[in-house]
Amino acid sequence: MAILSDKDIKKYLKEGKISIDPLENFEKQIQPSSVDLRIGDEFKGFKIIKKPFIDPKDPEDLDSYMDSMHIEEGESFIIHPNEFALATTYETVKIPDNLVARVEGRSSMGRLGITMHVTAGYIDPGFEGKITLEISNIGKMPVALYPGQRACQIVFETMTSNAEKPYGHPERDSKYMGQTRPESSRIKQDYELRKI
């Protein structure tokens, strides 16, 4: 596997092999081997509840644990220490069948104690939609997050060949294809949990 350089990212974007929409500041957002993505204006955070645990098999349980909120332009979402929230990128991305992508946090955010993904930084070939950000504050101070601020970066890697069944393929369980907002976990749709 090889990581695309800024030159190749620009080429793939121009040829329509990769789509990042809107890419409003081409020169500022494209880095030497990645593209900076911005945070969207919708967030999901966990409610304080009295239930003893989250049951991933309960079809009505997962969404009941989270509140959605829309942040107006110029306003901020405050993430407190030890809090976890979901958001999406402002941009919609489309990955071809012969590339994979990874979302990494920006070092400027990391230096504030903010992580942009807990485990789901990997984007399958064929994915199309906004990328869910799993944001945590591991620092000691609350941090303001502003919609439209550059929060993470996407890195593209070539594969040895096109995927036979890319994300979104009819035979694949692509639970988050085409997402446009932060989505709660859809783990209840996993085949092994449906059998239990």
pLDDT 10s digits, 129-183: 999 999 999 999 999 999 999 999 999 999 999 999 888 888 887 778 888 888 7
Host domain of residue 19 = 2-48+62-183
Confirm whether 57 is domain-assigned: no
Confirm whether 109 is domain-assigned: yes
**Binding residue per annotation — 141?**
no
Confirm whether 192 is domain-assigned: no
Confirm whether 54 is domain-assigned: no
**Binding residue per annotation — 109?**
yes
| Bridge partner residues of 122 (DSSP) | 102
Nearest CA to 120 among 70, 183, 163, 169?
183
**pTM to 2 decimal places:** 0.86
Average pLDDT on 62-79 reads: 87
Confirm whether 150 is domain-assigned: yes
Active centre residues (catalytic)? 134
- Position 60 scores a pLDDT of 65
Please give the helix or strand (H or E) that residue 193 lies within, else none: helix 191-195
**Per-residue pLDDT reduced to its tens digit, 105-119:** 999 999 999 999 887
Per the structure, the count of domains in the chain is: 1
CATH number at residue 132: 2.70.40.10
Confirm whether 31 is domain-assigned: yes
Confirm whether 121 is domain-assigned: yes
Q: Tell me which residue has tokens 């009819």.
A: 170
**Binding residue per annotation — 132?**
yes
Confirm whether 53 is domain-assigned: no
